[in-house]
Amino acid sequence: MGKYKIAVIPGDGIGPEIVKAGIKVLNKIAEKYNHQFEYEEVFMGGCAIDKFGEPLPDKELEKCLKSDSIILGAVGGPKWDNVETQKRPEKGLLKLRQKLEVYANLRPAKIIPMLQCASPLKKEKTDNVDIMVVRELTGGIYFGDRGKTDVDAYDVEKYSVEEIRRIAKVGFDMAMIRNKKVISVDKANVLETSRLWRKIVEEVSEDYPEVTLEHMYVDNMAMQLVSNPSKYDVLITSNMFGDILSDLLAAVCGSIGMLSSASLGNTKRGLYEPIHGSAPDIAGKNIANPLATISSIAMMLEISFGLTKEAKEIENAINTVLEKGYRTLDIYEGISNQTKVGTMEMAEKMIEEIK
């Protein structure tokens, strides 16, 4: 029996629905394997602005810092578009990542055979796609100096040697347990930060002689990922580039509603969330896809809690319900062997598979 304290951030838009679905599945795992998961709800994002006047009050942050790990739904939405920059919902997420010191964002992008037809690419282009994006998460342009006047605005991209070195090490460590191939993505033909990035990544690579390293400009990388995605294994890249490329890969894999992520630092505590946004246009309609959130929870079980068997049980249940033809709206094609289900129905179908 394991006992774990989990901070739960439902957030905005579809966040509360997909998190509720994920917790239902997690509770079934707790029941089957005799674990105890203690949940504490945290307000962050637009809902925190409405309640407290800021996107992540310190007392809410403290709940996360005292937890074993954190589950996050999604934050933001048009309702808060006119809020001043320093109090936007996304600022709560940036603050959380920084205070947790989770500098490495792991974003797996893998084609599930049952959903291969949902990819906009031809089948032969997506055979065996299995990519891990290792995104630096607490530096770069999102955390740099910024400002604006009546006539201009600026956002500064800045990276230190140590920030680059530690994320590169995570990427190479990941490659060692995969196919030992790394692509470091930058814009070194234009950006000084990227030239430093390339230099430090090359230094780190010397400690991993078994891993092949290739550098690629981000614009070329985007083109290659829709031309021949099955060629790539591990991508190491900066905060903004990783943000963009992982969303591109979500489309390659068929739906942004399917991809999970883990944000990690130097401890076992992690931040686990789907890579998609809050989708306020479908919030409250019970049509959002909860599978990315549920898969993120599986990552939490394996990476933070060491519960490999339990994580595998969840991933197997995801594959089984998809094999049986159950689909949320985003991956439903209307063909005869598919059944359209809602957010909570998908969670219930998974629970049925966790005998």
Please count the other Cβ atoms lying within 10 Å of the Cβ belonging to residue 136.
26
Q: 342, 328 in Cβ contact below 8 A?
A: yes
What are the beta bridge partners of residue 261? 273
CA atoms within 13 A on the CB side of 282: 19
Distance (Å, rounded) from C-alpha 80 to C-alpha 48?
A: 11
Structure tokens at 27: 């509770």
CA distances from 329 to 250, 289, 326, 333 (A): 16, 8, 10, 8
Q: Is 219 a catalytic residue?
A: yes
Measure the CA angle with vertex 304, ends 202 and 331; round to 5°: 85
Find the catalytic residue in 58, 145, 219, 281: 219
DSSP conformation class of 187 = -
73, amino acid identity: G
Q: Which class for 269: exposed (0-12), middle (13-18), buried (19 or more C-beta within 10 A)?
A: buried
Structure tokens at 65: 């810092």
DSSP conformation class of 53 = S
Q: Is 355 a catalytic residue?
A: no
CA-based nearest residue to 126, from 109, 148, 101, 104: 109
Q: Is 217 a catalytic residue?
A: no
Structure tokens at 55: 């996107």
Distance (Å, rounded) from C-alpha 300 to C-alpha 56?
A: 22
Q: Is 340 a catalytic residue?
A: no
Find the catalytic residue in 186, 233, 243, 330: 243
Please count the other Cβ atoms lying within 10 Å of the Cβ belonging to residue 4.
19
What are the beta bridge partners of residue 108? 132
CA distances from 285 to 130, 281, 322 (A): 32, 9, 21
Find the catalytic residue in 187, 272, 326, 349: 187
Find the catalytic residue in 4, 142, 208, 272: 142
Q: Is 247 a catalytic residue?
A: yes
Find the catalytic residue in 130, 155, 173, 247: 247
Structure tokens at 140: 């770069």
Q: Give catalytic residues, as residue numbers.
A: 142, 187, 219, 243, 247
